[in-house]
Structure 1
Amino acid sequence: MSDEGRFGQYGGSFIPEILFNSQQDLLSAYREAMADPEFKAEMLAQMQQYSGRPTPLTPCPNLSQQLGGAQIYLKREDLNHSGAHKMNNVIGQGLLAKRMGKKRVIAETGAGQHGVASALVSARLGLECTVYMGAHDIERQYPNVFWMKQLGATVVPVTTGAATLKDALDEAMRDWSSSFNDTHYLIGTSCGCAPYPEMVAGFQSIIGEEVLSQAPEVLGRQPDKIYACVGGGSNACGIFLPYKGTTTELVGVEAGGIGDGVGEHAMRFNTDQARFGIAQGYATEFLQDEQGQLLPTQSISAGLDYVGVSPILADMVKRNELRMTAARDEAVLDAFKRLATTEGIIAALESSHAVAAAIAEAPKLSRDEKLVVNLSGRGDKDLFNIASALKDAPFNDFLADYLAREKQA
């Protein structure tokens, strides 16, 4: 990465002039904090004592036997406090906001996991918290919205555009432009202007660092391949970056959605609909038309339903350090069910994309090969979405009966 926050042709800072001083203050504060042993020790202590790190590396013997190929292991980020990898970054940025004297944080969220994590840490650190979330995502991830509110956060529905993650990010940027004196924008993924890609990826790299130390004991050696789902890219950066330059193949899995047409997926690679562009404060590969207008996206998972991608990952793909693939919604649901029924693990729909790719590739590989899947989150937040997709009639009947009883009470 260059001093300007660039990763090859990607990254950088393309922000309104009014935010320049605030962005420079954040850049300096982050660099100073990461050079301060006391800050790093406090951050690690919070990750261990509050979030529950280190997370285990779990073998999947039943699923591996059923597939008849490579052995599959899961890095269990779903066991973090709040149920996702999001806590790693939020703890780091929350402590940084306190160090900078900020009283308030704002966040954007798609699947809601980042919103919940931001609300949790804000409550713990005594910070005011406002979360921007697309109205469409609120409908399909309402359990997380409920918990954000219980934790004291203000949840602001975003109804512009497609009312998803991209639009929530736009609204959060507008807020930051008018409130930066006392507010820290706690971005949830490794996108946006510098230093956010570097900072979020840095806080998340504890995932890959733990795998590096755990693999010799659990796998007997380092893995042959590592899989991670890719929306903005924070969990992928977290597990991939410590393995850069090693012999382990890194595989990112995007949202293949329901097809290859415009608005049917959220793939920034392996598609002719993505182009280099500048939006939302940084340069990367965006789904956009020939006039540069950002295109609609689709995914069964709210957290992968994003139009851009981390500049770090875009640069890694360009340098052939990362292979990108995708999983369709149908394969994602199948992977979710297989993991639940064979291993008793309920994965988030985002993480199920990575599981789906490993399931597709493992049977073609030798039994001696070892695959690690970053299970970035747990699936209880997806209850309504999964029940709807699986057309679970008893669940729908239960909801109807419950609502009827509530109205009569």
Structure 2
Amino acid sequence: MNDEGRFGQYGGSYIPEILYSSQQQLLKAYRDAMNDAAFIQLVKSEMQTFSGRPTPLTYCANLTKMLGGAQIYLKREDLNHSGAHKMNNVIGQGLLAKRMGKTRIIAETGAGQHGVASAIVAARLGLECTVYMGAHDIERQYPNVFWMKQLGATVVPVTTGAATLKDALDEALRDWSSSYEDTYYLIGTSCGCAPYPEMVAGFQSVIGEEVKEQSTQQFGKYPDRIYACVGGGSNACGIFLPFVGSDAELIGVEAGGRSDAPGDHAMRFHTDQARFGIAQGFATKFLQDEEGQLQPTHSISAGLDYVGVSPILADLEEQGKVRMTSASDIEVMEAFKLLTRHEGVIPALESAHAVAGGLREAAGMSPDQHIVISISGRGDKDIFNIAKALDDEPFTEFLQTYLKEESV
């Protein structure tokens, strides 16, 4: 990255003039904090004593034997406090907001995990919290909405556009532009204007740093391949960046959705529907039509249907340092069932994309090779979507019976 927050041709800051002074204030505060050993130690301490790091690297003996290929390991971010990797970033940014004297944080969220993590940190630090979430995502991720509210956050439904993550981000930016004097915008993924991509990826890099140490201890070397799902890209940046320049191959798995038709997926690579663009404060690959309008997206997972991608990952892919692939909704559900039934690990649907990509390739590798799959979150939040996808009639009947009994 250069001093302007650019990663090759991607990144930068394309923001309204009204936000310029606030963005510069944030940039200076972040640089100062990263040069303060006491602040860095405070972040590490909170990650360990509050969030529960380090998370384990778990060997999948059953799936390894079943597939007969590479040795399969999981990086267990689902065991992080709040059930996802999101806590790594919100701890860092929450402490930065407190250091800057802000009294309120705002956040955008898709699957709701970033919203829950933001609400948790706000409660811990005594900050007011407002979370913007697409109305469509609220419907399919309501358990997370419930917990945000219990934690004291105000959840604002966004009904514009497709009512998903892109639209929630737009609304959060509008809020920030009118409230920046006392408000900190806590972005959940490695996108947006500088320094957000660098900052989020930096706080998330604890994932990859732990994998370096754990893989060396457990099987004597770095992994041959590392897989992570890619929406905005925070968990992928977190596990990939410490390995850039090593012999480990880094594979991102996007949301292949229902098909490769426009609006049926969220693939920003290897499709003629994605091209260079500038939106929401930064430059990257966006799904666009021929007139440059951002396209609708789809994924079985609410956290992977963002229309753009981290400028860091766009640049790394362009340099050939990260390989991008995808997994369809059907493949994701099959991978979810395999991991759940044979290893007792219930992944989030986002993470199941990485599982699908990893298992698909592991079978063709040799037994002396090792892969690590990032389990970026747990599947509790997806119970309604999973039950629907599996056509689980007893679960539907239970809900209907429960609601009927409660209304009497």
Q: Give the shorter-chain TM-score range.
A: over 0.9
Number of the residue aligned with 2:158? 158
- CA apart distance, 1:220: 2.0
In the aligned structure 2, how far is the partner of 1:218 from the partner of 1:399? Answer: 44
Q: Secondary structure at the match of 1:326?
A: strand
Q: Quick check: 1:134 aligned with 2:96? A: no
Number of the residue aligned with 1:326? 326
Q: Secondary structure at the match of 1:285?
A: strand
| 1:188-227 equivalences in 2 (<5 Å) | 188-227=188-227
Number of the residue aligned with 2:386? 386
In the aligned structure 2, how far is the partner of 1:300 from the partner of 1:218? Answer: 34
Number of the residue aligned with 1:305? 305
Number of the residue aligned with 1:16? 16
CA-to-aligned-CA distance 1:86-116 (integer Å, 9 cap, x gap): 0000000000000000000000000000000
Q: Match of 1:197, as an amino acid?
A: P
In the aligned structure 2, how far is the partner of 1:96 from the partner of 1:258? Answer: 40
CA-to-aligned-CA distance 1:178-219 (integer Å, 9 cap, x gap): 000000000000000000000000000000001111111112
Q: Secondary structure at the match of 2:320?
A: coil
Number of the residue aligned with 1:94? 94
- CA apart distance, 1:367: 1.0
Q: Secondary structure at the match of 2:264?
A: coil
Q: Secondary structure at the match of 2:50?
A: helix
- CA apart distance, 1:399: 0.3
In the aligned structure 2, how far is the partner of 1:35 from the partner of 1:229? Answer: 31
In the aligned structure 2, how far is the partner of 1:33 from the partner of 1:367? Answer: 44
- Please give the root-mean-square deviation of Cα atoms over the aligned residues, in Å: 0.4
Number of the residue aligned with 1:361? 361
Q: Match of 1:47, as an amino acid?
A: M
Q: Quick check: 1:294 aligned with 2:294? A: yes
In the aligned structure 2, how far is the partner of 1:64 from the partner of 1:355? Answer: 13
Q: Match of 2:296, as an amino acid?
A: P
With normalisation by structure 2, the TM-score equals 1.00
In the aligned structure 1, how far is the partner of 2:38 from the partner of 2:216? Answer: 30
In the aligned structure 2, how far is the partner of 1:359 from the partner of 1:241? Answer: 22
Number of the residue aligned with 1:169? 169
In the aligned structure 2, how far is the partner of 1:213 from the partner of 1:34? Answer: 23
Number of the residue aligned with 2:48? 48
In the aligned structure 2, how far is the partner of 1:224 from the partner of 1:247? Answer: 7
Q: Match of 1:214, as an amino acid?
A: Q
In the aligned structure 2, how far is the partner of 1:76 from the partner of 1:303? Answer: 18
Q: Match of 1:66, as an amino acid?
A: M
CA-to-aligned-CA distance 1:44-75 (integer Å, 9 cap, x gap): 00000000000000000101111111111000
In the aligned structure 1, how far is the partner of 2:108 from the partner of 2:68? Answer: 41
CA-to-aligned-CA distance 1:209-261 (integer Å, 9 cap, x gap): 01111111112211000000000000000000000100100000000001000
In the aligned structure 2, how far is the partner of 1:223 from the partner of 1:64? Answer: 15
Q: Match of 1:195, as an amino acid?
A: P
Q: Secondary structure at the match of 2:24?
A: helix
Gaps of 5+ in 2: none
Number of the residue aligned with 2:246? 246
Number of the residue aligned with 1:182? 182
In the aligned structure 2, how far is the partner of 1:222 from the partner of 1:13? Answer: 35
Number of the residue aligned with 2:69? 69
In the aligned structure 1, how far is the partner of 2:309 from the partner of 2:219? Answer: 31
In the aligned structure 1, how far is the partner of 2:24 from the partner of 2:73? Answer: 41
Number of the residue aligned with 1:269? 269
In the aligned structure 1, how far is the partner of 2:98 from the partner of 2:26? Answer: 12
Q: Match of 2:340, as an amino acid?
A: A
In the aligned structure 2, how far is the partner of 1:329 from the partner of 1:400? Answer: 26
Q: Secondary structure at the match of 1:364?
A: coil
In the aligned structure 2, how far is the partner of 1:158 from the partner of 1:390? Answer: 28
> How many matched pairs?
408
With normalisation by structure 1, the TM-score equals 0.99
In the aligned structure 2, how far is the partner of 1:361 from the partner of 1:213? Answer: 24
Q: Match of 1:407, as an amino acid?
A: S
Q: Which runs of 4+ in 1 moved over 6 A?
A: none
Share of identical aligned residues, percent?
74
Q: Secondary structure at the match of 1:321?
A: coil
Q: Match of 2:320, as an amino acid?
A: N
